[in-house]
Structure 1
């Protein structure tokens, strides 16, 4: 991409605060001497006052200082002190039902907590705390506690209120989930933006960029397929994939070893297995994947299976391109796809 064309693309992304460009470029503002991430909320500079960089180090070497609003040297969705403090408070007493005076004791504005949790987790703090309580209720029910005992232990005096709250969060009434499954959902910050990981104590089921279009539908399909409750939390495999992602983006890991749980048809699984055989830094076309499966005319089905992948990066659907050499599609956005391919080529050149 010519530099002028690239800069025009980056400037447009800056004006639109496009999240898929996080980690792809940084912008130095000549009039202020600061550099920002693409989603910075500050007033946008004129195009002629912008200087674009591939990474933060380049901006620092060009004598720009980090913006105090978007904090380009931290993760794009770095946890605020308020969010961290409230999450810790929930973990200290997960069965607690929060009231206005509880926020006052912590010197936290309730509306600020609501807004920051909504931005971070897609739910308000009250919804987060309620989900955590319901997760405990689910655990208690599965360990043999009666629905009534679980109801009382989470602070619900009314059985109908407990049942309605449980159903709204878990997707089914507590009596229907007594032999059910619980999956944990966790937020993972990466250089290219935040990702959501969902898994249990055995494997990771889903890994997607948070801003992927249709992510809510993917999570709902996962919940229905597995007949599971999905609640905030973490597990061993989620912690493992978070560590491996950090190493991957640092350039010290090219393969993932965290256990995966694949949910798909036999054909889809066969396609995903082929994707995992593509070495980092290389690409294959949909047609080549079809040939490798012994079904040379099934390239459209291969493309559909590729799009159905719910484990981004780990099952590297970003390494599949069109036969013409064009990038093709990618659920996380083409700018991310191109960045990932270029990043992986560095594994080979080193």
Structure 2
């Protein structure tokens, strides 16, 4: 498969059997979206955020030209979209427009758009198809791949959701060319995470030339994006419902989700994950698992990507309460993904409160 500029697109298979699908990574992939839609589909609901409204309208026009009925609905940006009220509006549209099990949704935008569209698809008529068209870095390497869907509640992030594999994921790198630099940096936190837990080559590429990595048109950027997507595809293919190895993808996320909730979702997810990874590295180091060199490498790699590695002092009590609601927790026991070394993730259960506070002090500024 080739992109419209003649370069080869990469097709990465995820899963086996009825839960299998492909992630296509390349540039200029608009036609790939249309070919991914089965001929039996008569109605398509495109769920999108305001920054990609033009892309959604163009897609709807192409679908109408192809003889289908296409509807668009704009949702709020970022995590503000992932609420019951927005989900209810999607259900209303699906009902009033007579969507059946042979129809589908398309999520266009960041991770919030694909999470929400996926959950609406999972719950409408107990499951209809969805195609994800992520238009952010984190959406491509994380949210859109793996079949996790969900919404937020006042009690925490993604506590209500379902596993619902998409029909296809189209990761068009051209969609990233106009993103603000901070949004690119924030998304690359998830790419760096992939490097720390399983693919050190990603870290080496970042360390060789961070500025090239931050350029969405550079070959280095395309390589680390593709490597991160392939890693996630491999992990979720082995463990669709997070009962085993998939948990390593939560590296840094225990504290990150607590920070996001504490900041009322005004922090970018990747910024929170960057701080969360440094916290996890401090935890691993102080618990005797991780060397000081790898701990230092966390700070140097993330700083080179313009990501934060510290959080405010005096917030531990509130964050500790939020961490208790983490999905990896079992009863009152906190469970963390930590590293023994680069590419060697393990699980740490029930660290002492003193150790947690000590690690928090080490990342406070």
- Alignment TM-score, normalising by the size of structure 2: 0.30
Greater strand proportion: 2
TM-score (norm 1): 0.31
Larger CA Rg, structure 1 vs 2: 1
